[in-house]
Amino acid sequence: MLKGKTALVTGSTSGIGLGIAKALAAQGANIVLNGFGDVDTPKAEVSALGAKVAYHGADMSQPQQIEDMMRYAEKEFGRVDILVNNAGIQHVARVENFSPERWDAVIAINLSSAFHASRLALPAMQAAGWGRIINVASVHGLVASAEKAAYVAAKHGIVGLTKVIALENATSGVTCNAICPGWVLTPLVQKQVDAKAVAMGLSNEEAKKQLLQEKEPSMQFTTPEELGALAVFFCSSAANNVRGAAWNMDGGWAAQ
Ligand code: NAD
């Protein structure tokens, strides 16, 4: 379905980003990976699906590096047709204890990076008359939780950005939508499971159950594969008129 198209997925060396990159690769898209840590394993996993793979290590908190990454992707594959703004970090503290540096980092990586990558990707999508911007927001783009001020602010912000980009391109073939997952068992969430296990004297399994019980009625983690399938749907022609949606896949979290 996506043969000849190029998808750039930020923060795709791990977790949800890697799951989405693999789902798009399985549909035939060329993939530009981005993120920190081990690069060889995700690259090998994506190319095993038959995709052409490139990688750029831009730090998504740095606008100049984002610009370098977008130029690199264009040089490698000609154009970015699908942009998945996924890179994200978490920091947990009450507002009065929240370090300003952590606030700035969460806003830069979880929100401003999507603005920068989108503003740079849009002109080529508009010229081609087709494009997809998929923002990985969160159920925290729709509802709040205590001790996640920067994350909730950034995720509500990215849902707003999604709607604006969707409206500005509404009469074109360029769509913009957000995905709002509930708990997904990635390294980002495992850290929160570990913190809960230590704080409450629980085993890893008990801490996971506790985490789900607090928020997610289905008592199931959403998987990167399920989120990848939703991203593929947003790229399909069936989703041509899905614009500005903030689509939760959260086991009923936001329905409560
Ligand atoms: P993860 O920690 O597994 O992956 C994060 C990715 O972002 C990694 O590839 C990491 O290297 C990259 N990254 C981090 N900082 C970066 C930076 N400055 N520049 C470039 N890359 C950077 O986390 P995940 O759970 O897969 O999260 C991915 C996205 O999904 C995030 O935006 C997160 O907020 C969102 N999300 C996660 C969950 C969840 O439960 N895990 C739920 C809702 C939304």
Please pick, among 103, 130, 151, 234, the residue that the annotation labels catalytic: 151
- pTM: predicted TM-score of the whole model, two decimal places: 0.98
Q: Are 129 and 216 in a shared domain?
A: no
The pLDDT confidence band at residue 188, using thresholds 50, 70 and 90, is confident
| Ligand 1 within 6 A of CB of 87 | yes
Bridge partners of 30, per DSSP, are 6
Helix segments in 27-62, DSSP class H = 40-47
Question: Would 256 be classed as within a structural domain?
Answer: no
Q: Are 204 and 125 in a shared domain?
A: no
Instruction: Based on the residue annotation, tell me whether 151 is a catalytic residue of this protein.
Output: yes
pLDDT of residue 237: 98
Q: How far is the CA of 171 from the centre of ligand 1 (A)?
A: 31
Mean per-residue pLDDT, 195-213: 95
Q: Are 70 and 40 in a shared domain?
A: yes
CB 126 within 8 A of CB 174: yes
Question: Would 242 be classed as within a structural domain?
Answer: yes
Q: Are 85 and 170 in a shared domain?
A: yes
Bridge partners of 163, per DSSP, are none
Q: How far is the CA of 87 from the centre of ligand 1 (A)?
A: 5
What tens digit of pLDDT does each residue of 226-256 get?
A: 999 999 999 999 999 999 999 999 999 999 9
The domain that holds 58 is classified in CATH as: 3.40.50.720
Question: Would 21 be classed as within a structural domain?
Answer: yes
Give the range of the structural domain holding residue 34, as residue numbers without chain letter: 6-183+223-251
pLDDT of residue 77: 97
Q: How many domains does the chain have?
A: 2
Extract the runs of DSSP E, i.e. beta strands, from the chain.
6-9, 30-34, 53-56, 82-85, 131-136, 174-181, 246-249
What tens digit of pLDDT does each residue of 149-174 get?
A: 999 999 999 999 999 999 999 999 99
- The length of the chain in residues reads 256
Question: Would 1 be classed as within a structural domain?
Answer: no
Q: What is the distance between the alpha carbons of residues 117 and 55, in angstroms, rounded to a whole number?
A: 15
The pLDDT confidence band at residue 33, using thresholds 50, 70 and 90, is very high
Question: Would 233 be classed as within a structural domain?
Answer: yes
Question: Would 196 be classed as within a structural domain?
Answer: yes
Give how far the C-alpha of residue 217 lies from the chain's centroid of Cα atoms, to the nearest Å. 23
What's the whole-number average pLDDT of the chain?
97
Q: For 218, which DSSP code?
A: T
| Ligand 1 within 6 A of CB of 68 | no
What tens digit of pLDDT does each residue of 5-32 get?
A: 999 999 999 999 999 999 999 999 999 9
Q: Are 116 and 37 in a shared domain?
A: yes
Q: Are 127 and 239 in a shared domain?
A: yes
Q: Are 214 and 117 in a shared domain?
A: no
Q: Are 128 and 201 in a shared domain?
A: no
Handedness of CA 252, 85, 126, 49 (dihedral sign): negative
The pLDDT > 90 percentage for the chain reads 99
Mean per-residue pLDDT, 35-61: 98
Q: How far is the CA of 127 from the centre of ligand 1 (A)?
A: 30
DSSP string, 104-132: HHHHIIIIIHHHHHHHHHHHHHHHHT-EE
Indicate the SS3 state at residue 213: helix
Question: Would 243 be classed as within a structural domain?
Answer: yes
What is the edge-to-edge ordering of all strands in the sheet holding 246-249? 53-56, 30-34, 6-9, 82-85, 131-136, 174-181, 246-249
Q: How far is CA 97 from CA 91, 92, 194, 216, in A?
A: 11, 10, 21, 27
Q: Are 174 and 147 in a shared domain?
A: yes
Q: What is the distance between the alpha carbons of residues 182 and 185, in angstroms, rounded to a whole number?
A: 10
Q: Are 134 and 14 in a shared domain?
A: yes
Q: Are 193 and 119 in a shared domain?
A: no
Q: Are 23 and 36 in a shared domain?
A: yes
